[in-house]
Amino acid sequence: MVYGVGLARGMGVTLKTLIGPAFTVQYPDRRVGLIGAARAYGISTPGLIFKRPIKAMRAVLGLERIDVRPAQAARFRGNEFTWYEDRCTGCASCAKYCPLGIIKIVTLPGGTNVQEGESYALDTFEIDTGRCMFCALCVEACPYDALHMGSNFERANYQRMGLVLSKRDLVNQPKHPSTWYRPQMELLDYSPFADELDDFKQAGRHETPSVERLTRRWVEDRRTSEVNEADEAVED
Amino acid sequence: MPLTTQPITINVGPQHPSTHGVFRMRVTFDGEEVIDVEPIFGYLHRGSEKLAESRTYTQVVTLTDRLDYVASMTNNMSYILSVEQLAGIEPTPRGVWLRMIAAELQRIASHLVATGFFLQDLGALGTPLIFTMREREQILELFERLCGARITNSYMRPGGVFMDAPDDFWPALDRFLSDMPHHVDEYEGLISGNEIVAARCDGVAVVDSQTLIDASVTGPMLRASGVDWDLRHRQPYEYYNRVKFNRPLATASDNYARYMVRIHEIRESLGIIRQCIEQIEPGPVRPETVPALIRPPVGDSYVGTECPKGELGFYLVSDGGVAPYRCKVRAPSFINLTLLREMLIGDKLADMFVTFGSIDINMGEVDR
């Protein structure tokens, strides 16, 4: 074998990569030209030039940058948790399943009908995401679909206490639940990065059943009455 | 009269980029030749085995992700198989097929990392590593679609997997399977016939097969010495007896042979995934009967599985409680590392890290 053939072949592979398409993803922002900037701001190119001349100038000079969000899967287990207070009964299944014990729940004997098991009044619901390893066993454990994984990951903080999600944070933050272990959301054609599910009823499973569903459940599927409600929600 | 030099002892690591983690070697050189090596490890010891004793059987899955963190899926599978044997849980067919697909994808990803860093240690800074990382990225994206995480998957549960694959997973997997053979050709074009790689790797760190067997070394390192030992074939677990695959072997038992075995195993894994897709059938991914809190009967279990680095097995002892009484990990990286001294003595300084890279160890698994 002629010495140097392997080297030449290797250089050929490198050369092919040089002229092929790049696979680098720019993050957190990327430079755009005039047309790209106009598309990013949602206006036409002449509109950008006349209405926002400074931005157009920067784009021509190659200084304009737009934010980039990397492509993520819908099941991505994100940093912030999504929690629906109306649905949470304070049963603390999530706290028991957490391998690290970072979910802190304090309940008070409240609610209207504690004797019938309606709910407890939640005094504290804290998740220390600084110690969380995002295994999402808590989401799997939640019997009422109250706790979901989030879809965000940009949660850098200057203080460690800022990573602790208090009850107020969980209630107030925008709710983009991940579809991890929530098959009903995958059937809804829901995207965690475009849609916001503020209402717990939109999150599926425990919403009031429709008439059609009840008819099907109690009339047509009477023989298989052992089908539990969770599977019913999946099939819907 | 030959010139003699005074031996000099150098500490390599624990903070050294070529030791693949926090590994330390106390190496004694005579000139440029290695005359003694003392491996020192334990810097990444986290007490995973002890931690497992205070967690329930489902919670331990999250610990197994962090042993060999470039091959989490195979770690999960090995642990889950041991739990299933201990508790007598019968997995559902679809769950088993999904586990096999995930494990074979993870094997490809792990071999890509091994190949990339092996060449990085050789001095090919950049190109091969970036090439292999590019394809590994595709696999990690597949995992993200499948289970929402890229490295620490925690995908498998006793009895199957936690959730069925989403609809967009299958087209993405098909795309990957059709692209990947071209990329493997690319690596081979770049590396396999390369004269520099051949000059640096041929005949370096040769170990004969009897020494490897005596040290209970497994995985690609053993197969590169001509020993046909693949647990997927010898003791089929999961449904590996329903798929056909070749077992790449080499006889040279040097650094180049280990690289070639890994490259060919990538091709075989692609074939296994294709057969899994053909045979997978609809159905539940986890039996309904598995309780949330598993309480296995008193006893013990061990299932050896063929992980990318060798035989990985979890020896579990149950006292009837919710947590394992004892959890012992048979870590392939740790056992493969025991031959490091024999392999390095007599080699040059420049070949030291190449040999170390060709063993393909992971410090998370060595120290546990």
pLDDT digits (tens, 9 = 90+) for A78-132: 888 888 887 777 788 888 888 888 888 887 766 555 455 555 677 888 888 888 8
> Which pair of structure tokens corresponds to residue B147?
């289970």
Find the helix or strand (DSSP H, E) in which B27 lies.
Answer: strand B24-30
Q: Confidence band (pLDDT; 50, 70, 90) for B104? A: very high
Share of chain A above pLDDT 90, in %: 0
CB A166 within 8 A of CB A126: yes
What span, in angstroms and rounded, lies between the C-alpha atoms of A219 and A217? 6
Q: Is A23 close to B134, i.e. CB distance below 8 A?
A: yes
Q: Confidence band (pLDDT; 50, 70, 90) for A1? A: low
The model's pLDDT over A8-44, given as tens digits with 9 standing for 90+, comes to: 888 888 888 888 777 788 888 888 877 878 887 778 8
Which residues of chain B lie closer than 8 angstroms to A178, CB-CB? 148
Which residues of chain A lie closer than 8 angstroms to B146, CB-CB? 75
Contacting B with CB below 8 Å, chain A residues are 3-7, 9-10, 12-14, 17, 23, 71-77, 97, 99, 133-137, 140-141, 149, 178-181, 183, 186
Specify which residues B8 forms β-bridges with. B29
Whose CA is closest to B78, among B304, B368, B363?
A: B304
pLDDT of residue A26: 82
User: Does residue B8 sit within a domain?
Assistant: no
Q: Is B59 close to A137, i.e. CB distance below 8 A?
A: yes
What's A220's DSSP letter?
A: I
What span, in angstroms and rounded, lies between the C-alpha atoms of B348 and B123? 15
A41-50, A216-225, B41-50, B144-153: least confident range: A216-225
Closest CA of chain A from B292, distance in Å: 9
What span, in angstroms and rounded, lies between the C-alpha atoms of A64 and A37? 7
User: Does residue B5 sit within a domain?
Assistant: no
* Residue B86 domain boundaries: 58-310
User: Does residue B211 sit within a domain?
Assistant: yes
| CATH assignment of the domain containing B260 | 1.10.645.10
pLDDT of residue B315: 92
The model's pLDDT over B176-211, given as tens digits with 9 standing for 90+, comes to: 999 889 888 888 888 887 888 888 888 888 888 888
* Residue among B62, B127, B192 whose CB faces A14 most closely: B127
Which residues of chain B lie closer than 8 angstroms to A77, CB-CB? 148-149
| CATH numeric code, A78-201 | 3.30.70.3270
CB B336 within 8 A of CB B222: no
- One-character DSSP codes across B223-291: HTTT----HHHHS--TTGGGS-------SS-SHHHHHHHHHHHHHHHHHHHHHHHHH---S-SS-TT--
Q: What sign for the dihedral angle of Cα B55, B61, B66, B68?
A: positive
What span, in angstroms and rounded, lies between the C-alpha atoms of B243 and B275? 6
* Residue among A10, A99, A180 whose CB faces B55 most closely: A99
Q: Is B154 on the interface with A (CB under 8 A)?
A: yes
What's B118's DSSP letter?
A: H
Share of chain B above pLDDT 70, in %: 100
Is residue B134's pLDDT more than 50? yes
Crossing angle of helices B72-87/B93-122, nearest 10°? 140
Q: Confidence band (pLDDT; 50, 70, 90) for B108? A: very high
What value does the mean pLDDT take over residues B71-78? Answer: 90
User: Does residue B325 sit within a domain?
Assistant: no
CB B94 within 8 A of CB B126: no
How many domains in chain B?
1
User: Does residue B30 sit within a domain?
Assistant: no
User: Does residue B93 sit within a domain?
Assistant: yes
Half-sphere exposure of B304 (CA within 13 A, CB side): 15
Mean residue pLDDT across chain B = 87
Q: Is B148 close to A12, i.e. CB distance below 8 A?
A: no
Closest CA of chain B from A9, distance in Å: 6
Q: Is B193 on the interface with A (CB under 8 A)?
A: yes
Which residues of chain B lie closer than 8 angstroms to A184, CB-CB? none
The answer to whether the complex's ipTM is over 0.85 is no
The model's pLDDT over B150-180, given as tens digits with 9 standing for 90+, comes to: 888 888 888 888 888 888 888 888 899 998 8
Q: Is B152 close to A4, i.e. CB distance below 8 A?
A: no
Q: Is A6 close to B198, i.e. CB distance below 8 A?
A: yes
Q: Is B307 on the interface with A (CB under 8 A)?
A: no
User: Does residue B149 sit within a domain?
Assistant: yes
pLDDT of residue A209: 47
Domain boundaries, chain A: 18-67, 78-201, 206-236
- One-character DSSP codes across B169-225: HHHHHHHHHHHHHHHHHHHIIIIIT-HHHHHHHTTSS---HHHHHHTT--THHHHTT
User: Does residue B89 sit within a domain?
Assistant: yes
> Which pair of structure tokens corresponds to residue B65?
């992700």
